[in-house]
Structure 1
Amino acid sequence: MEKEIARVAEEIAELVGGDVDRDEIKEALEKYVRLGIDLPSARQVLLKKYGVKGVRGVGDEVELAELSGGEMSVNLLVKIVSVSKKVVRLSGGDEKEIAFGLMADRSGIRKFTAWEEFGLEEGGTYRIEGAYTKSYRGEVEVNLGNLCTVEPAPGELEDLDPSSLPRIGTPREVKIGEIVPKMGTVTVEGRVLSASEKTVTVSGAEKEIQEGVLGDETGVIRYTAWGSVRLREGGSYRIAGAYVRSWKGIPQLGIDERAEVTPLDREVDVKESTEGPTRKRISELLLKGEQYVEVTGCLIEVREGSGLLFRCPVCRRVLKESTCRVHGPQQGYPDLRVKAVVDDGYGAAQVVLNREITEKLLGMTPEEALEESERRGEVLWLEEEVRRKLQGRWFVMRGTAILDDFGPTLLPKEVEIVKGDVEEELKTLLEEIEGVVL
């Protein structure tokens, strides 16, 4: 590295000319390298400091298709396909105007962001030195920062037709029903079923966003549109570059100004029923959660923590030995809950039944359960009562299914007991099986 630093220092001194101090240049390079700046970037900083322009950087120009993300300093020869400007808020709270758009070379097209004013014009060709790259939501983007030099390159790439070039790293095109968490950026077509405005606070600043539901023939998904992006309720769109987020395993779409939103001149077909729940086997919930799902299964286990419990009056957390883990000792209020496991023959899921559903299934209120517990002198009797009444019975459950590292959990809003004599049905089934075996 010492020999390389000496070589680059000598090169800079030759380019600067005059009575420049070679030892000073070498010391500056060594300082930058110690700070973690790569040598090509350090070279560019010093050339800029000494007012040297139009000099090629260390290393040959690379093509856009070769970029993998994480490059600290690359040289490019590109044509600007599109360029726009916007004001962004930096991490320190200051606002800054930046340029963003698409650039192309003979290998394809990529997104770029210019953090300084370089005078980029649509259709212009430029030689760029010292650009860096980042992977953003699965797509490599070129960044032009203050260590970068940009010079017009008239006569270069004159015959380049961007319309015939591929978009490098084009987001995967999927149907809405195929979207799962951690999918990265995607391209979807859908119709806006609902849309509303909302104000949120991000990093201490208020932002206006749009929230809504997008649908196609395979399903629906919630979306959030940021910045100036707005979708019209009832409109159909093609959205390239939307990013998949998730809330407790339930996928959602984020759409910002980096995405390409194109109105369609046709109406996207939407799944016939978007208001009712989607019927699912539990095995299907191992891939992603669902906002509104219907599952039919047998309650095979009632878990500890079911029955009568007491909640913190401040935050509603369950008290343990009359103590909230956040607010300390509390005089809790009574509540009812069932924690259980449901199996539909294809998979198993945890289920948590809220107070309203538990009241309905047990036929008592929290106050009545507390009164009976005081009469008996203990509360565990209700957990056994839950097992006696619910375990082994079949239920239809409708509500939200969330997903975490422990698997799916059902949070029903509605529960119905499956009518019929389950024991008799099992007896008949066993007789049929025995008949086949014999």
Structure 2
Amino acid sequence: MNDKYAPHIEELSKALEGVGYTDIQTELDNLLRFRVPLEEAKRTILNKFRSKEACEIKIKDILNAPKSFALKGRIISVEKKKIVLKGETAYLYSGKLLDETGVCLFTAWDDFCLNEGDIIKIYNVHMKLWNNRPEINFGQRSIVEKLPEDPSLPKDEKIFTQTKKIIEINPSDLLVSSQGVVTEIYHRDIIVKGKDTIIIEGVIADDTGKLPFSSWVPMEGVDIGNAINFRDAHVRLFRGIPSLNFTHMTSWELLPDNKCPFSKNKIMTDEPSYISIGSVLEKDGLFDVVVTGNIISVRPGSGLIERCPTCNRVIQNNVCRAHGTVEGIRDMRVKAILDDGTGAVYIMLNRELSEVIYGRSMEEAENIAKLSMSKDAVYESMKRSLIGTYLAVRGNSSKSEFGTTIVARYAWVPEDDLLSRLDDLLLKLPEDI
């Protein structure tokens, strides 16, 4: 570097006590090579290295972390991923970081030369929620400092495994242990890194709920109706719903009938218990739940629609936001709000369920639209027919910034024992009324 910059490096060294002269010189050289004005380059270096003054937190406190913070931990996994960003190929690095208080996910948008087993102190990072799960983000202004081996930091994330009932497993969990009965199981052929691979998929349930699972390792001797005790299963997310992932880290064993803590026969009946909508709202996502309530609103977007033939998105005027101009596929749906007195959720009914609940086929709905020369006529007809209807819905729930939605797999009008429901309602009223 030209000697004319030496006074500026000295000035920065005095302002950044403890930061090496060579480090400052390298940063300044990099910025000037990219034609950053000298004063702007100096401000950038000051901001970057002063970020080391940010408060240091532990992983257990990540949800209450300040906007920018420092963290010390051990890298226990890291993976390089290829992505397309604004039409250009880029790479990001994701994995897990742990300290003595917990384990969390991270994403790095630059190559910090991270390796499994490294102990690092990372400055100027921030936390964000991804699918309601906290995640650490390393940005361009983050600084990674490699540290020597520290025996106080654990090397295995298994020490943070939690033992839970199925209903208690939530999206923020990373490793869990539990017990359950296999109610569904099947094998699926997939291609992983160019190789044919067989994975096992299914559903596991206990007396509190059920979750889907995938196993990447053989499960010899396990079949439908078997009760198993499993340890160290990874929790993955799909549309906000937790699922169990069995890997080489996961251990399991068959439970004999005399050690099974719940009734296998009852679980295998495939009759999920009804749950209040208020209980659904407390969870970020639930698998296979049944709720009942009254339709209090039929939302815009109900009625006759068209979908993209490639991605199945709803399109407007034959234009898909992902695939441009397409020839749409005709469809029909109901979007509504269901309320049971404890809370309200959005429900989504596909064409088949919409035809049953609405009481008209899609062809009949199209005739209504033709006679009135407006698709909105079907939406208005649905509102008149459905608002106030007492309905039971079975499906998966997921939560987003717009609220909680249940995508229905089944929907029906239950036998309406109005007097029994009225008695239940009266019992909930205060005695002095």
Look up the match of 2:15.
none
**Corresponding residue of 2:118:** 132
Q: Which residue of 1 aligns with 2:199?
A: 209
Which deviates the most, 180-189 or 342-351?
180-189
Q: Is the 8 Å Cα contact of residues 337 and 353 (structure 1) preserved in structure 2?
A: yes
Q: What's the TM-score once normalised by structure 2's chain length? A: 0.57
Are residue 70 (structure 1) and residue 73 (structure 2) matched?
A: yes
1:336 Cα deviation from its structure 2 partner: 1.6
Classify the secondary structure of the residue corresponding to 1:415.
Answer: strand
2:230 maps to 1:239? yes
Distance 1:219 1:302, change over 3 A: closer
Asked if the contact 1:188–1:238 (Cα under 8 Å) also holds between the matched residues in 2, the reply is: yes
Q: Match of 2:375? A: 379
**1:230 shift after superposition:** 5.3
Q: Which amino acid aligns with 1:273?
A: I
Match in the other structure for 2:280: 285
Gaps in structure 2 of 5+ consecutive residues: 1-21, 28-70, 82-99, 101-115, 121-132, 135-145, 150-156
1:196 alignment partner, one of 170, 186, 191: 186
In 2, distance between residues paired with 1:421 and 1:340?
Answer: 23
Deviations 1:391-437 (A, max 9, x none): 122212222323333332112233223555979x98xx89x989965
Q: Distance in 2 between matches of 1:224 and 1:421?
A: 40
- CA shift, 1:365, in A, is 2.2
Superimposed CA distance per residue, residues 252-283 of structure 1 (whole angstroms, 9 cap, x where no aligned partner): 11121123334556552345134123311112
Q: Distance in 2 between matches of 1:369 and 1:91?
A: 50
Q: Does 2:350 align with 1:347?
A: no
CA shift in 2, pair 1:413/1:195, >3 Å: closer
Q: State the SS of the aligned residue for 1:346.
A: coil
Kept after mapping to 2: 8 A contact 1:225/1:254: yes
Distance 1:148 1:235 in 2: 48
Q: 1:236 and 1:434 mapped to 2: Cα distance?
A: 44
How do residues 149-168 of structure 1 correspond to structure 2 at under 5 angstroms? none
Residue correspondences, number: 304
Aligned to 2:397: 401
Aligned partner of 1:62 in structure 2 is none
Contact 2:210 2:288 in 1 (8 A): no
1:239: how far off?
2.4
Q: Within 5 Å, give how 1:13-28 maps onto structure 2.
A: none
Specify the structure having the higher radius of gyration (Cα): 1
Task: Report the Cα offset of residue 332 of structure 1.
Answer: 3.0
What residue number does 2:211 align with? 221
Superposition deviation, residue 303 in structure 1: 0.8
What amino acid maps onto 1:278 in structure 2? S
Give identity over the alignment, percent.
Answer: 30
- Residue 251 of structure 1 pairs with residue 254 of structure 2: no
Provide the rounded CA distance (Å) in 1 between the counterparts of 2:202 and 2:286: 16
Equivalent-residue separation in structure 1 for 2:183 and 2:329 (angstroms): 41
SS in 1 for 2:301: coil
CA deviation profile, 1:265-311 (whole Å, cap 9, x unmatched):
65523451341233111122221433322111111111111112223
One-letter identity of the residue aligned with 1:282? I
Shift of 1:348: 0.9
Across the aligned residues of Structure 1 and Structure 2, the Cα RMSD in angstroms comes to: 4.7
| Structure-2 change in CA distance of 1:418 and 1:241 (3 Å) | closer
**Unmatched 5+ residue regions in structure 1?**
1-29, 36-67, 73-89, 93-106, 108-129, 139-146, 151-166
Flag the 1:295–1:322 CA change in 2: closer, same or farther, 3 A: same
Deviations 1:152-188 (A, max 9, x none): xxxxxxxxxxxxxxx9824111122321122121122
C-alpha distance in 2, partners of 1:285/1:181?
14
Given that 1:242 and 1:255 are in contact with CA atoms closer than 8 Å, whether structure 2 keeps it comes out as: yes
